[in-house]
Amino acid sequence: MSIKTWIDISVPLHNGMHHWTGDPAFESSLFASIADGKVCNVTQFKTSAHIGTHMDAPRHFIRDGITMEKMPLDAVIGPCRVVEIRHKVALTPDELKPLKLKAGERVLFKTRNSRRSWKMPEFDKDFIYVSKEAAQHIVDCGVMTVGVDYLSVGGFYTERGHKLRFWHRDT
């Protein structure tokens, strides 16, 4: 019998944390308090879904795409491969080809974003992203799930259309 280890890679939520430029900031506050005579403490969150560790459903980029509650759980539950990317700008096919990505695989890409972007005082517009060519390579390999270590797979200054290709199997 093998023992599986779960590793929590979530970015902790906190007031003042990074969020996508133009989206509402994350706000956490006490809505009800025992100290004020309420029966329990209740915390209220205000934010967009595009904050911290999150998943984008196809609906994020496709008008009639499926929403998060309709996403298959096997996309996010189960073994995955974590790959460190060294490129200083974006994931590229040259760096991905030696990995021999497989159909149905879940892959998380660790970049300098983990060490740098979350620690910066402001949103990092120069985060490492998945290039259009790398996205096509990932789709061609049949990868089921892709994760990156910042707020988007697409670059801040790049066209966003290539993100749609990740959901080719769901559309």
pLDDT tens string for the chain (171 positions)?
A: 556 777 788 889 999 998 988 899 999 999 999 999 999 999 999 998 888 888 888 888 788 988 889 988 888 888 899 999 999 999 999 999 999 999 999 999 999 999 999 999 899 999 999 999 999 999 999 999 999 999 988 888 875 544 434 433 433
- pTM for this model (two decimals): 0.80
Q: Say how far apart CA 144 and CA 146 lie, in whole Å.
A: 7
Say what the pLDDT of residue 5 is. Answer: 76
Residue 71: the pLDDT is 86
pLDDT at 72: 86
DSSP string, 133-146: HHHHHHHHHT-SEE
Radius of gyration over every alpha carbon of the chain, rounded to an integer in angstroms: 18
Q: Burial of 127 by CB count in 10 Å (0-12 exposed, 13-18 middle, 19+ buried)?
A: buried
Hey, which bits of 2-113 come out as E strands? 27-32, 42-46, 81-84, 90-91, 106-110
Give the pairing type, strands 27-32 and 90-91: unpaired
Strands 42-46 and 27-32: antiparallel
Q: What per-residue confidence (pLDDT) applies to 124?
A: 93
The confidence score (pLDDT) of residue 171 equals 35
- The dihedrals phi and psi of 152, each to the nearest 5 degrees, come to -160, 150
